[in-house]
Structures are given as C-alpha cells and as structure tokens.
Structure 1
Amino acid sequence: MQRNILEYLENSIVNYPDKVVFSDDKENITYQEFGYRAKRAGCGLAAIMENKRHKPVVVMIDRNIDSIVAFMAVVYSGNFYVPVDSQMPVKRIELIINTLEPEVIISPQKLFKVLNECGFKKSITTLQVLEEYEIDQQKLEDIHLISLDTDPLYAIFTSGSTGVPKGVLVGHHSVMDLTDNFAKEFNFSHKNVFGNQAPFDFDVSVKDIYSTIKNGATMHIIPKVMFSFPGKLIAYLNEKKINTVIWATSALRIVENLKALEKELPQYLHTIMFSGEVMPNKVLNYWRNYLPEVQYVNLYGPTEITCNCTYYKVSRPFSDEEQLPIGIAFENTDILLLDENNKSVNLGSTGEICVRGSSLALGYYNNPEKTKEVFCQNPLNNMYPEVIYRTGDLGYYSEDGNLMFVSRKDYQIKHMGHRIELGEIEVIANALPIIGAACCIYDNQKEKIVMFYQAKEQCDKEILKSMGRSLPKYMFPNKLVYLEVLPLNKNGKIDRAFLKGRFLTNDES
C-alpha cells in the first residue's frame, strides 16, 4: 500500500535514473541527481530539527530546481513544506511566519536579513548547507517506516477575508489521489513533457510536479518573462518539445489577446488543461481554431480540495456566448449541491458546490475556527462523522449530466429587486470581440454593478449596445471602467481585491 509521495520518486529513480526530471533557465537535473540532492538535504534537515516530525518548514522559493529539491528534502525529513515567494511583501511573509511558527526556514542567503526583520528567531539555513550532510539511509528508512498517508505534505497560503492569510494543509493521501486520477484519466506517462507556468506557491504547480515525478516524465520551468512575450513563449515550447501544459486561464488568454498563434504554432502540444478562472469560449475557440487536434480540459476546484475535483474534456464546438461545463467528478470524489437549507437541489437548480472524498485538505493550519466553518459534517448524513468542504461556489447540473459553474456565492447579488449572478454578466462580456477580458464587482454602498474591462480602446457605448442583445436591462452594468490591462494577482487571476479597493472604496463619483 502506498502511503507516501516519495514512493513515486523512488520508483522513477529506479526506472529512469539518467532522464531529466526538471529544468529551469540555468540547468537541468536527472532523477538520480535529484534524488541524491534531496536525500542529502533531507538528512541535514532531520539533524538540524533533532528528528522532529510533521512540523512546518518554510521554503523561500524562486522559479528554479533548487525550490523543488528543498520541497523533497523536507518530505524526506518527515516534515511538511510551505512555499513562500521570495518576492512577497515583508509584512505578508511576517504574517505567514507568525501563523506557522516554523522550526526551520530554507532560504537563499540574500534573504536572511529580511527574515530576521520578520522577527524569526529559529534556524535559517540554505539548501547548500543542508546538502553538505551525508545520506543516512537507515535514518531515511526509519522516517518512512512510521509515515502515514494522512500525514501533511505541504501547506499553501491563500488570501483570508480578514486580511490574515490562511494556510491550507494538504496530506499525502490527497495528492496521491489527485495524481493517480490525472495519470489514469489523461493517460499521463513517461512520455509527457510538462511546461510549468504556475508559481510553486500556487496549487496548480502541484499537478505539474507530482504528475512528473509519478510518471517518470520531464518538467520544464518556463521563465516568467516568457508570458510577457508570447512569441518567445511559443518558440520555447517548441525548443523543449513540451506536449502538456496545465496553466491558469489567464496564461492562455494572454496568448489569445496578442494573437501569438498567428505567427508560430506549438508543434508538440497534445494536451492543454486550464483552471483558476472561468475560461471564455472566445479564448478557447481561438486556440481550438489553430490547434484543433489538441485535447482541451477544463479543470475546476479550490485549493482546499487539492487542486481539482471535476474535469470536462472539451468534446464539441462551443459558441463564444456559451458557457463551458466544469464537467464530472474525478473518481473517488463526490459532489453535493446544497440549497440554503442544506438540502439537495433538484436537477437544473442551483446550489452550493460541496465536496467529499480523499481529496479534501486537512484544514487550515493553526486556524480551527475557520476550518470548522467550511470543513464540516455532511448535513445529508447524521449517522456517522463525514466531513465535506463547502466551496462557496454555486453550480447546477445540466441535462447532459455535466456540472455547470454559476459564480461565487458572494458574486450573487440582489439588485433592483432581482437576484443576479455577476458571473452571467461576465460570460456575455467576455464573449464580445472588442473585449480582451472583463470582470464585475458589486458596489454595495452605491448599489451599482461595476464592470471593469480590458480592450484596445475605451468602447463603453459599443459594449452596452452589444450586451443589450443578450441581457435584460436590469442586468446591465451601471458603470464601466476601462483599463488597458486588467491587473492580475500572483496566481494569474484577475485581481478583484485590488480593483475593489482602488476603484470602489475610494470612488466618490
């Protein structure tokens, strides 16, 4: 019985010792070299931590191989890793450290001063120092012998409504459940060459890293700058013979906005998967027009259920105005749609998307109150303990059995006497050829629907005229805000919090 993610790595080291597992913009590394470095650093970490188990270890990350080596070193030591972006504001780093109270921080030397400013008084070390230790195989075996599949593997911090970030703690069994499902459902094998776009403190990267390790595949860490120059990005994909990408929707939208596929096509791509935000069919159709033979997969799920709980393999044409399904549940996962009274909704009716199964995270680290709010007893079962996760998203089942995403619960508003889903307005807006991207936010104080849009030039009249063909007047945005480029957060999603703070809170017009 498999109970630890390292078993994936150990098997691939045996089967593909001399194959490149990861590459970044400076170097590449084989499975054997990667395992050797991770084990040495893991033994060093175990020695520094005096054989403590299941404790948080912060890894100050960059887009490089060293970050992933450090992750696996932490796992070999019997603890769990917490990726923290080295470019993050000092105040946020301090909040994360205060929540975690980690035993050790693994960091480049240049960040030691910043970490000391955060008030961290325990051990700060570099990966290079940890790799000076010799491999103690007996120690590694002893650690593995007492490991459980329910042990924590990593924690990823997401935004909190109170301004304090929440650390989503995920166990080995959840990542193995996800990775095994991906390998089975999408036929992943040693032939896959992944192009990693997601930052390592964003859960999309979990799919890249562990799908690579499990299947004896190769993963190229795409330099961030490539997404500012899509022409170079396509050339990079071809140079590295990348055939599989699991990207944020925004990354595909950037390529579509700049019409990069008109100049050069990716020659090796056979699988394109996307998640994070609703995929506008206008963007998807652009890609499908140039790469019709590729398998496109719409993935859905929050960090708290280990990346994804549903998938939809795009199998038919969609008009720009249509909504793309989020599909069906992965094996060993169950989706519940609950109404406001915690009852199951009827077919076609909207309810909150709730999830049960092995994919559920362990909860929020050092935050029992917030954990109890959303990781709660299944209200449909009062006979024995059974935890579900309440996503806060609304959805319904279409007649063909596919789950459809409606919006966030907090995107559902009451406006002019009507209950409105802001997501429905966004679908219509994002289908318009003149709009590059759009999102809607409700100004509760002024009771106005504000739509922010990205376009080549300001075109308010044309937008409202076009939307009038699809939306009733009461769903029209009350205010349009034109921006040359919509701001994105570090995970590649439209930064709604920034827009709200910048344009609504201080807006006196």
Structure 2
Amino acid sequence: MRNVLEYLEHSAEKYPEKEAVADMANSCSYKELLQNSKRIGSSLTAASAPKTPVIVLMDKGVEALTAFMGIVYAGCFYILINPEQPLLRIQQILKVSGADCIITLNGTGSVPKELSFTGKVLDYYELLKGDIEEEKLQLIRDLSQDIDPLYCNFTSGSTGVPKGVLVSHRSVIDFMEYFPDLFHITAGDIIGNQAPFDFDVSVKDIYSTLKVGATMVIIPKRLFSIPMQLLDYICEHKVTTLIWAVSALCMITQLKGLTYKVPVTVNKILFSGEAMPIKHLKIWQKYLPEASYVNLYGPTEITCNCTYYRISREFELDETLPIGKAFPNEKVFLLDENNALITEEDITGELCVSGTALALGYYNNTEQTQKAFVQNPLNPHYLEPVYRTGDLAFYNKDGDLCFAGRKDFQIKHMGHRIELEEIELIINSYPDIQRACCVFDTRKNRITAFYVGNMEGRQIQGKMQESLPVYMIPSVFSSLPELPITANGKIDRKKLLELCGGK
C-alpha cells in the first residue's frame, strides 16, 4: 500500500451507501465521497502539478474533507487554512507554502482582498461539475510514491513565522496500520470529530474512519462553548468514539455538563495535547465507567502520536498520568545532556523518536528541519533520522514514560503547541512596550505576559488579536516597573512564574 486513497476506495467498495462523514448541514456516503473526490481531483489536474501544495480555505466540514481527497487524487498535498485566522497569519502561511492554488466555497469572494493573492482561486462547487477522468487519475497514481507529501500542518515558530510540518502518505499509513486495531475502532463506530482540520488530532479521526469504514460526525466548533448543546449533539448522533484534545474534555467537566446528560453510547475516549488533570479524568470515569480511556502523546512532527497509555486503574489526584510506551514500529527513547541513553527509573531526559512515522521536515525551511530532525547520536553506523521533541520525560517504576515539561519555552496549551517566543516577539514589536516576557502557569493552565511599558493589558490583548489566534493570546497581562534579571543577564523566568503562582 502506498497511497491513503486506498482506504477510501476499499471502504467505498465495501460500504458504498453507508454514511462516511456528516456535519451539521451536510452528509455523504462512501460512494458519494469517492465520486466527488475524483471529480475534484480530475478538475485540479488542469490547475496544479503533482507534489505541490493546494490550500483549502474553509472551515472543517464535508466539503473540506472531500477537497482533501480530491487534492490527493490530483497527486498534490493539502493545507487547511481556517478563514477565521488573522489575516497576517494567513499571509505568512501562504508565503511559506508558496501555494498558487486555493479552493474555497465561494470562489474569489472567499479570499480577502487584503491577502493580495495572485494565484488561482477555485470554487469547490465548480470543481465538482467536472467529469471524472479515470485515465489521468490512474497515471498520477502510477507515478506516485508512498514518500510523497500528503498534508502540511502549520505550527507556531520561534522566529515569529509559522512552521509547516510536512507529512507523507507512508507516515500516515504506518501509523494507521496499528492505531484503529490497538483501540478497537471498527466499521461499527461513529467518531465524533472535535479537532480542527489544521490540527493533527483530526488526522486520527479522518484516516481511522476511512480505513475501517466507520462514520465521522464533524462537531461544530461553536458547540464547544455550549456543553448542553454539545452533549445533545453527541447523543443525537450516537457517537461512540472521542479522540479529543484534553482541553475539550475538560470544558465539559469544568462546566458540569455530564450532570445534564451522559453520552451513554461513548465507549472509547482517547485524549492528547497536554496533561489530563486527574480530577477531570475521574469525573469522566464516574459517568462512563465502562468506557476505555487512553492517554496519547506525540508532536505533529512524528505523525499524531508516538506513545500511548491505557488507563486501567484509578489514579490519585497527586499522581502523574503516564504517556506510556511506544506505538509499534516507532522507537521512543531518552537522551541526557551528553546524548547518552537513559534507561534508569526517575532520571529525566529529552524524548526522541525514530521510525517511519517521522515527518518529511518543515516545508521550505531547511534550517529548522536540520535542527530538529538529526542523525541518531547513538548510531554512527548508518542513516537513522530522529526527531528531538524538546520534551522532557522519565521512566516510572513500571517502565512507562512520564511527561516532565519542555526543554525550551515551547508549551502545550488548549491542545496546541505554542512557542512563547513568538508571542513575545509580537508584544515586543509594539512601540509603547519596552520589554515583555511570557510564562506558562501550569497550575492555572494559562499564559501570563509580563511587560514594561505604557499600554494597558486590554489594549495589548486587542492589538494581538490582529495577528495571533485566540489560543496564543495571554490570559493575564501584568505591568512591572522592570523585569527581573538573573545573574547572567537573562530574564528570570523562574521569578516571573513565582509572581503568577506557577511552578
């Protein structure tokens, strides 16, 4: 197998009339998804060459997923951009990607004039009107390789420019060979999609669905601020599987949603993105005691996840929930500061990963790629790329890995990986700010910005909305006469954390 389209084709042959994907406004069967994807792919061949990026400028939905598959039929790779992102960030992604083709739901009317995009803007519905050109699609498939790029997801970058993580067909296929089977995801499941389509948690929803012939129900973003409507939606669609960010699960328990309604059909809850607070896990376990719970870990650069931990016992509030052991065909190990292997219990080191699941690197960013994807220092004999996650971890007494924070200033917040330096760069660019520093308060799970300057916190917050997504904007702004400095002249981040009550 060398192309993810084989998942779609197999399921369409086996379950042609079965509902493949549904959102609040639309749905389609496997047969319809296959045919519409081929139409889009056939139309795209006249507009974009294989192995080039095609932007999908729309919110998640049936149309976006169909566009993804159509782009893959054309031999290209997809980049989802949510239109609600700030214009500056959209401009940055367009520039890094170098894409000259955008698919929207309303042609040029969906592309803000401020973007000054000079490439081709294609209307989704117009693409659907084209004929399926089987010979052309087959020729593209015959020339394809499993190492061809499939998608590119943009994450925060420490230089102020987003980094595009490029992932191949082979990496997704390798991960999907194990993921659904390990957690008993079958054709009988209904997967409730929470994650945005530009966030790699959604990759597990999409390709698990297509591989096993399940149904994916796309849950609108707005429902995640209205727990009663969210639970109504899950129950109405008889969702069985939640592969969600921790913050989404905690939103329901924090607002006591399960006291309103329990989604009794849910039997699998898999979560990732940040540490799951034990008290919130306990609430879910109380209301759904028969469901299976799995803690997943892994950065975007290794295709979704590299470790998993099945929760098979009760945890105390002060215990650390392990991230567990490596997925099959992935090697996860710890290195100390001297690049020596750590195997002993309770010794912290940097978590490193090797295997087929590694991404192809950062698109159009050789320098950052070479920093993160390096030769395994333990192997001088042959080429073995590893991804240095920058995450710290240790082994517990059971031999399971446990997350122990970040090596640098990158954090995980609201399910997203964020470089604090990127936020600082924005604040420090304002004329009325002399100096700013951001810290992540792990106890309160919030970003705090400390600054020296003449702006009010509300002014800074409003200004930041012009260039950063909501999840990157600090919750607290604290003005200081000066920032504390360490003995070697650096900002004393430890002192700042003490000021905001963090650890």
The TM tier, using the shorter chain, reads: 0.7 to 0.9
Instruction: Supply the AA of the counterpart residue of 2:37.
Output: A
Instruction: Tell me what 1:362 maps to.
Output: 360
Instruction: Tell me what 1:409 maps to.
Output: 407
Residue 499 in structure 1 maps to residue 497 in structure 2 = no
| Residues 284-433 of structure 1: pairs in structure 2 closer than 5 A | 284-348=281-345, 349-410=347-408
Q: For 2:284 and 2:180, locate their aligned partners in 1 and report how far apart those are by CA, in whole Å.
A: 24
Q: Which runs of 5+ in 1 are unaligned?
A: 413-421, 427-440, 456-488
Instruction: Supply the AA of the counterpart residue of 1:41.
Output: I
User: Is the contact between residue 43 and residue 136 of structure 1 (CA under 8 Å) also seen in structure 2?
Assistant: yes
Deviation at residue 345 of structure 1 after TM alignment: 1.6
Instruction: Tell me what 1:133 maps to.
Output: 130
Aligned residues: 446
Could you say if the C-alpha distance between residues 359 and 450 of structure 1 is closer, same or farther in structure 2, counting changes exceeding 3 Å? Answer: closer
* C-alpha RMSD over aligned residues: 2.8
Instruction: Tell me what 1:466 maps to.
Output: none
1:473-504 per-residue CA deviation (whole Å, 9 max, x = no partner) reads xxxxxxxxxxxxxxxx9xxx994x5328x625
Instruction: Tell me what 1:3 maps to.
Output: 2
Instruction: Tell me what 1:180 maps to.
Output: 177
SS of 2:177's equivalent? helix
Q: For 2:154 and 2:438, locate their aligned partners in 1 and report how far apart those are by CA, in whole Å.
A: 32
Instruction: Supply the AA of the counterpart residue of 1:357.
Output: G
2:164 pairs with 162, 167, 191, which one? 167
Q: Which runs of 5+ in 2 are unaligned?
A: 414-419, 425-434, 446-464, 483-503
User: Is the contact between residue 104 and residue 124 of structure 1 (CA under 8 Å) also seen in structure 2?
Assistant: yes
User: Is the contact between residue 153 and residue 198 of structure 2 (CA under 8 Å) also seen in structure 1?
Assistant: yes
Deviation at residue 112 of structure 1 after TM alignment: 4.0
Instruction: Tell me what 2:462 maps to.
Output: none
User: Is the contact between residue 107 and residue 121 of structure 2 (CA under 8 Å) also seen in structure 1?
Assistant: no
1:111-142 per-residue CA deviation (whole Å, 9 max, x = no partner) reads 64645432321211111111121001111111
- Larger relative contact order (Cα-Cα within 8 Å, sequence gap ≥ 6): 2
1:444-464 per-residue CA deviation (whole Å, 9 max, x = no partner) reads 999998748769xxxxxxxxx
Instruction: Supply the AA of the counterpart residue of 1:159.
Output: S
User: Is the contact between residue 195 and residue 245 of structure 1 (CA under 8 Å) also seen in structure 2?
Assistant: yes
Q: For 2:308 and 2:78, locate their aligned partners in 1 and report how far apart those are by CA, in whole Å.
A: 28
Deviates more, 1:235-244 or 1:365-374: 235-244
Could you say if the C-alpha distance between residues 44 and 88 of structure 1 is closer, same or farther in structure 2, counting changes exceeding 3 Å? Answer: same
Deviation at residue 507 of structure 1 after TM alignment: 3.9
Could you say if the C-alpha distance between residues 120 and 411 of structure 1 is closer, same or farther in structure 2, counting changes exceeding 3 Å? Answer: closer
User: Is the contact between residue 78 and residue 144 of structure 1 (CA under 8 Å) also seen in structure 2?
Assistant: yes
Instruction: Tell me what 1:21 maps to.
Output: 20
User: Is the contact between residue 335 and residue 356 of structure 1 (CA under 8 Å) also seen in structure 2?
Assistant: yes
Q: For 2:60 and 2:169, locate their aligned partners in 1 and report how far apart those are by CA, in whole Å.
A: 23
Q: For 2:306 and 2:11, locate their aligned partners in 1 and report how far apart those are by CA, in whole Å.
A: 26
Instruction: Tell me what 1:471 maps to.
Output: none
Could you say if the C-alpha distance between residues 141 and 278 of structure 1 is closer, same or farther in structure 2, counting changes exceeding 3 Å? Answer: same
Deviates more, 1:254-263 or 1:189-198: 254-263
Instruction: Supply the AA of the counterpart residue of 2:122.
Output: T
Q: For 1:39 and 1:192, locate their aligned partners in 2 and report how far apart those are by CA, in whole Å.
A: 26
Residue 245 in structure 1 maps to residue 242 in structure 2 = yes
1:89 pairs with 66, 86, 93, which one? 86
Instruction: Tell me what 2:29 maps to.
Output: 30
TM-score w.r.t. the length of structure 1 is 0.83
Q: For 2:353 and 2:66, locate their aligned partners in 1 and report how far apart those are by CA, in whole Å.
A: 32
Could you say if the C-alpha distance between residues 452 and 185 of structure 1 is closer, same or farther in structure 2, counting changes exceeding 3 Å? Answer: closer
Q: For 2:438 and 2:39, locate their aligned partners in 1 and report how far apart those are by CA, in whole Å.
A: 58
2:269 pairs with 265, 268, 272, which one? 272
Q: For 2:438 and 2:105, locate their aligned partners in 1 and report how far apart those are by CA, in whole Å.
A: 47
Q: For 1:358 and 1:109, locate their aligned partners in 2 and report how far apart those are by CA, in whole Å.
A: 38
| Residues 464-483 of structure 1: pairs in structure 2 closer than 5 A | none
| Residues 430-445 of structure 1: pairs in structure 2 closer than 5 A | none
TM-score w.r.t. the length of structure 2 is 0.84
Q: For 1:154 and 1:371, locate their aligned partners in 2 and report how far apart those are by CA, in whole Å.
A: 16
Stretches (4+) displaced over 2 A: 108-117, 444-455, 497-500, 506-509
Could you say if the C-alpha distance between residues 111 and 281 of structure 1 is closer, same or farther in structure 2, counting changes exceeding 3 Å? Answer: farther
Residue 219 in structure 1 maps to residue 216 in structure 2 = yes
Q: For 1:222 and 1:507, locate their aligned partners in 2 and report how far apart those are by CA, in whole Å.
A: 42
Instruction: Tell me what 1:432 maps to.
Output: none
SS of 1:156's equivalent? strand
1:79-127 per-residue CA deviation (whole Å, 9 max, x = no partner) reads 1001111111111111111111113111132764645432321211111
Q: For 1:406 and 1:44, locate their aligned partners in 2 and report how far apart those are by CA, in whole Å.
A: 49
Could you say if the C-alpha distance between residues 453 and 354 of structure 1 is closer, same or farther in structure 2, counting changes exceeding 3 Å? Answer: closer
SS of 2:321's equivalent? coil
